Amino acid sequence: MIQIMDILDVVIASIQTPNSQSEIHTKTIKSETTYYRRFAAILDILFRDTLFDISDGEQTSQITKEIMARNSKAFSSAKYSESVIGRRIDLMIRSSGIELSTSEWKRKGAVKGAGRRQQIKNVRGNKSILKYLLSLPVMDSDRQKVFCLGLDFIGKIFMFYSVTI
């Protein structure tokens, strides 16, 4: 998997948008979707004919929804916990219906605080996924091998990380 990420690093760095030079010299900034589309096309190729399913389009993570509902019941009113929705995710990787990883995008030039909040949200979401994966019947000898990979993008710059126990 690390080799794949190395390949993606090279490919993403070389992606040129049709107006990339004008983007440098003007205040025209491409949207989050512009960067996402290019990367998602690469993922579609990498995960073709595998057991992995790539879901996108600001969907809701069921795992984070369940954790938020549990926390809401424990620390606030029952009425609030009935209306809890999970965190919205730009891209999620699943296998056999099980959430495995989340990734988030922000456009180049996004407010610094927004990018940081996105990273924190994404790490917390992937930590929730890891916690769920570890609740499945996993042999003790394999627990240390369970991890969750995440990606955060701001324009063409990305952070790749692993959440482990």
- pLDDT value of residue 155: 78
Q: Given its phi and psi angles, is residue 21 left (phi above 0), alpha (psi -120 to 50 degrees) or beta?
A: alpha
CB atoms < 10 A from the CB of 106, how many? Answer: 21
Kindly state the helix (H) or strand (E) to which residue 101 belongs, with its residue range. strand 98-106
3 state SS of 107: coil
Cα angle 90, 93, 95 (rounded to 5 degrees) comes to: 150
pLDDT in tens, the chain (165 residues): 666 776 777 677 666 655 555 455 555 667 777 777 777 777 887 888 889 988 877 678 888 888 877 777 777 755 555 565 666 778 889 999 899 998 888 877 777 788 888 888 889 999 999 999 999 998 999 999 999 999 888 877 888 899 998
Q: Computed from CA positions of residues 115, 122, 163, 98, in that sequence, does the dihedral angle turn out positive or negative?
A: negative
* pTM, 2 dp: 0.75
- pLDDT value of residue 16: 61
Query: Where in the chain are the domains?
Result: 2-164
